[in-house]
């Protein structure tokens, strides 16, 4: 019998035992027993069920999971590596329906080398346990209960696997993603298991998320516009403007993929939908530099040009604080067509604080006014020096000459 025929036979048996209606005799027994008002749990191969162990014999354990009959699980599945039985009658257990042929069979995780079970695992997306017996540059060699399988490098982790050799000798859960040659060629994925687990965590997390929550996250991807962060099975975006109070031109300058950071949820839209969007912020958890500005209106201060636009230049005047020098305030000496004619990024400049808007976080600056103030200060300094020298001369000449200088306003 070829493999296709075997698969068809198995499918027909599953259909027969899963869908067959009670016989007339059995129906009569049910009628005599009275109406059954209990809701029974429906089962299918691959479905996870939770129940209580009712009885244990020499080879099997019988589980009540709320179905029409008890399910059976091999006792070996309940033993530890040293052969000790981990569960007893009355304990709860969670398992997977592995077969409906004749009776409901359960398994913790499919380990059997039986090709029929492997086919069922492939067709129903069931997890299988396998031991990593080797590795190469292409991926991992896995033993599935005596059957040889291959796990490609791209299917080991959710991201790129840097050290496949670290998995040697470990037992992991896999999904069978390719089955060819009647089970002789098996391709498996551990990544599929990790993605399912992450999805389950994400569903649970979405029910608890709120705006303003502060969470730990891991940077998963960096783009020029920001950083994507996994906050526990759910991914959000820290826009480049929300990374720091100081200007960040490239997220890669301050963050690394895999880095653990703390973030705050600013906004959430369409949670769980196709257009899900979670906006995160790092700088929202840092002290706001606008709460204690080290200068005031009218003060002349120094700063560094951090950005040049057609309408002016942005100048950082304190960590995380930038102000705008409008193109009309760059200089009073000539007409400026482009700010780059006067300043360059990184240049240290003197500016006068014209106006502070603490609500909008805006500061108007003027290099022109700062230069005028500097010129006026220089003139006053020259005059003060002149007057000082003239006083010395008066002290030396004395008398009428001093009176004449005072009348002239030079003393």
- What is the tens place of the pLDDT at every residue in 292-351? 888 999 999 999 999 999 999 999 999 889 999 999 999 888 888 999 999 999 999 999
Residues 6+ apart with CB under 8 A from 24: none
Residues 187, 248, single domain; the answer is: no
Domain boundary among 220, 252, 285: 285
| pLDDT for res 349 | 94
pLDDT band at 374 (very low <50, low <70, confident <90, very high): confident
For the chain, the first-to-last Cα distance in angstroms comes to 122
Residues 303, 354, single domain; the answer is: yes
Q: Is 184 within a domain?
A: yes
pLDDT band at 8 (very low <50, low <70, confident <90, very high): very low
C-alpha dist (Å) from residue 24 to 18, 28, 30, 320: 18, 6, 10, 82
Residues 80, 139, single domain; the answer is: no
Which domain range does residue 225 map to? 209-285
Lowest mean pLDDT among 3-12, 98-107, 341-350: 3-12
Residues 240, 263, single domain; the answer is: yes
Residues 99, 138, single domain; the answer is: no
Is residue 160's pLDDT more than 70? Answer: yes
The enclosing domain of 274 has a CATH number of: 2.40.50.140
| pLDDT for res 23 | 46
Are 386 and 348 within 8 A, CB to CB?
no
Domain boundary among 285, 320, 340: 285
Higher-confidence position of 218 and 95? 218
Higher-confidence position of 183 and 277? 277
Phi first, then psi, for residue 296 (nearest 5°) are -145, 170
* Among 305, 339, 338, 310, CA closest to 322: 305
- Residues 324 and 295: their CA atoms lie apart, in Å, by 15
pTM of the predicted structure, to 2 decimals: 0.50
Residues 262, 351, single domain; the answer is: no
Q: Is 269 within a domain?
A: yes
Q: Is 71 within a domain?
A: yes
Domain boundary among 107, 128, 161: 107
Higher-confidence position of 288 and 33? 288
Q: Is 389 within a domain?
A: no
Are 111 and 76 within 8 A, CB to CB?
no
Residues 127, 219, single domain; the answer is: no
Residues 6+ apart with CB under 8 A from 56: 62, 75, 85, 88, 89
Q: Is 65 within a domain?
A: yes
Is residue 357's pLDDT more than 60? Answer: yes
The total of structural domains in the chain comes to 4
pLDDT band at 15 (very low <50, low <70, confident <90, very high): very low
Residues 355, 296, single domain; the answer is: yes
Are 121 and 176 within 8 A, CB to CB?
yes
Residues 93, 131, single domain; the answer is: no
Residues 314, 222, single domain; the answer is: no
Residues 136, 189, single domain; the answer is: yes
Percentage of the chain lying above the pLDDT 70 cut: 82
- Residues 313 and 406: their CA atoms lie apart, in Å, by 48
Residues 10, 93, single domain; the answer is: yes
Q: Is 272 within a domain?
A: yes
- Residues 16 and 30: their CA atoms lie apart, in Å, by 21
- Residues 297 and 352: their CA atoms lie apart, in Å, by 8
- Output the average pLDDT for the chain: 82
Mean of pLDDT values over 383-406: 68
pLDDT band at 238 (very low <50, low <70, confident <90, very high): very high
Q: Is 275 within a domain?
A: yes
Q: Is 204 within a domain?
A: no
| pLDDT for res 40 | 59
Mean of pLDDT values over 387-394: 71
């Amino acid at each position: 019998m070829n493999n296709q025929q075997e698969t068809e036979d198995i499918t027909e048996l599953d259909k027969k035992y899963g869908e067959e209606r009670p016989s007339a005799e059995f129906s009569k027994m049910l009628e005599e027993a009275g109406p059954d008002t209990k809701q029974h749990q429906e089962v299918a191969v691959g479905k996870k069920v939770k129940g209580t162990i009712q009885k244990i014999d020499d080879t099997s354990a019988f589980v009540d999971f709320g179905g029409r009959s008890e399910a059976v699980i091999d006792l070996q599945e309940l033993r530890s590596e040293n052969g000790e039985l981990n569960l007893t009658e009355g304990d709860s257990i969670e398992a997977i329906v592995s077969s409906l042929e004749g009776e409901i069979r359960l398994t913790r995780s499919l380990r059997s080398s039986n090709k029929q079970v492997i086919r069922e695992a492939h067709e129903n997306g069931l997890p299988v346990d396998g031991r990593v017996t080797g590795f190469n540059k292409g991926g991992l060699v896995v033993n599935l209960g005596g059957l040889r399988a291959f796990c490609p490098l791209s299917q080991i982790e959710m991201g790129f696997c840097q050290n496949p050799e670290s998995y040697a000798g470990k037992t992991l859960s896999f999904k069978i993603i390719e089955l060819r040659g009647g089970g002789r060629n098996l391709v498996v994925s551990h990544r599929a298991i990790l993605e399912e687990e992450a999805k389950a965590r994400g569903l649970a997390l979405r029910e608890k998320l709120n705006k303003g929550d502060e969470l730990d996250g891991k940077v998963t991807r960096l783009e020029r516009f920001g950083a994507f962060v996994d906050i526990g099975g759910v991914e959000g975006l820290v826009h480049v403007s929300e990374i720091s109070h100081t200007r960040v031109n490239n997220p890669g300058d301050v963050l690394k993929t895999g880095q653990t950071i703390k973030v705050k949820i600013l906004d959430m839209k369409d949670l769980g939908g196709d257009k899900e969007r979670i906006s995160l912020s790092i700088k929202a958890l840092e002290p706001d530099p606008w709460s204690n500005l080290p200068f005031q209106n009218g003060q002349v201060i120094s700063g560094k040009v951090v950005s040049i636009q057609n309408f002016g230049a942005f100048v950082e005047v304190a960590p995380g604080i930038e102000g705008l020098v409008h193109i009309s305030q760059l200089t009073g000496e000539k007409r400026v067509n482009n700010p780059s004619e006067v300043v360059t990024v990184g240049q240290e400049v003197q500016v006068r604080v014209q106006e502070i808007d603490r609500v909008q976080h805006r500061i108007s600056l003027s290099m022109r006014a700062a230069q005028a103030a500097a010129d006026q200060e220089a003139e006053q300094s020259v005059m003060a020096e002149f007057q000082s020298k003239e006083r010395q001369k008066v002290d030396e000449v004395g008398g009428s000459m001093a009176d004449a200088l005072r009348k002239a306003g030079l003393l």
